[in-house]
Amino acid sequence: MDIGEILSKSWKTIWKHKVLWLFGILAGCGATSGGGNGSGSASTHIQNSSQSGTWDAPSFLSPATQRSFEDFFRMLGDVGVWVWILIAVIVLVCVILFSLLFLFASTLGTAGVIKGTSLSDQAAEDEKPLSFGAIFNGLKPHYWKVFLFNLGYRVAGSLLTFILIVPIIIVGACTCGLGFFLLIPIGWFLSVMVFFTAIAIIEESLGIFKAIARAWKVIIKHLGSVVLMFLILGIGQLVLSLLISLPLAISFIPFLINLMVTGVRNLAPGTVISAILFLSSLPLMIILNGILRAYVLSSWTLTFRRLTAGDELEPIVLSEETKK
């Protein structure tokens, strides 16, 4: 496998077929983020404050502001339990609906980049750039299988994490944190399995379980090449992602400078400047992240195609009975 050829052709592919940028942006909708551990203590504090009708306000707040906060938390304490239950149910339903919506978009983006890269790899160099319709029509027969696979592994991953979280913490604590490093190669392997399974579904028109078996076979057979490609793409994506997100981090500097100079008395100038910088850099970050994700998916698709290119040419050993 020529890694240089794969990396070079992946860039040429997404540069020529810029519609893959759009699919890359959609594929980024599947990114997940973890929550902090401070929500429990915060909610407990609010609950206690609302029940008592008081609030331990910071000392720098004026008496009028403190009274406003106390009235607000007293009002929360007067709200009935069934109202909070109804709000929780509505929030849960909204979270599920938005998660499914993002999963639909992410699956469309991932499948689009895979199919677009495959079509480009099979076409002549002088062919016209692919259109959205051509790619969409090509991935339609495989979309729902990829969607069900994505949904299945996310649900299974969440359940497995919930079941194993306590043993993992115990192992990590008993090994002074060294046990957590064992999760890194497992995570790498699972991420490549997810990529290759989706590619196998689209490239070879396989069912979900056959595609999982196919991905396993390809990875185990070409483990060295897959690990090397993962290191190149993983480290490269990490570095570029940090560079892409740098403008967003810089956008908060005016607010922090304003906070250090004036305290909380006059935060309006720094807040406005930071908000403008943030909103200005956000679209650029989304586009660049979409291009980067399209490049990574394109590289994995070409890697799978190169690793499996000789499978059909492998000799078949006939038994003596077959020869007769």
According to the per-residue pLDDT averaged within each range, which of 2-16, 52-66, 81-95 is highest? 2-16
Per-residue pLDDT at 63: 59
Per-residue pLDDT at 263: 61
DSSP 127: S
On whether the CB atoms of residues 196 and 215 are closer than 8 A, the answer is yes
Can you tell me the mean pLDDT for 49-61? 48
| Confidence band of 38 (pLDDT split at 50, 70, 90) | very low
Quote the CA–CA distance of 302 and 2 in Å, as a whole number.
Answer: 10
Per-residue pLDDT at 126: 74
Per-residue pLDDT at 148: 93
Residue with tokens 């991420």: 191
Residue with tokens 């609030």: 55
On whether the CB atoms of residues 136 and 112 are closer than 8 A, the answer is yes
The radius of gyration computed from the CA coordinates of the chain, to the nearest angstrom, equals 26
Quote the tokens at residue 270. Answer: 């720094």
> Does residue 37 surpass a pLDDT of 50?
no
On whether the CB atoms of residues 148 and 207 are closer than 8 A, the answer is no
Quote the CA–CA distance of 43 and 318 in Å, as a whole number.
Answer: 70
Quote the CA–CA distance of 141 and 138 in Å, as a whole number.
Answer: 7
**What are the domain boundaries of the chain?**
3-29+64-308
Per-residue pLDDT at 144: 92
| 165-217 confidence digits (pLDDT tens) | 777 677 666 766 666 666 777 778 888 899 999 999 998 888 999 999 999 99
Per-residue pLDDT at 66: 59
| 204-262 confidence digits (pLDDT tens) | 888 999 999 999 999 999 988 899 998 999 888 889 989 998 888 888 888 788 777 76
Smallest CA-to-CA distance from 11 within 290, 298, 300, 240 is with 298
Give the distance, in angstroms, between the CA of residue 30 and the centroid of all CA atoms in the same chain: 4
Quote the tokens at residue 271. Answer: 């807040």
CB atoms within 10 A of CB 127: 12
| 96-153 confidence digits (pLDDT tens) | 898 889 999 989 999 999 999 999 888 777 778 888 888 989 888 899 999 999 898 8
On whether the CB atoms of residues 70 and 54 are closer than 8 A, the answer is yes
65/304: higher pLDDT: 304
One-letter amino acid at 199 equals I
One-letter amino acid at 173 equals A
Quote the CA–CA distance of 255 and 273 in Å, as a whole number.
Answer: 7
| Confidence band of 311 (pLDDT split at 50, 70, 90) | low
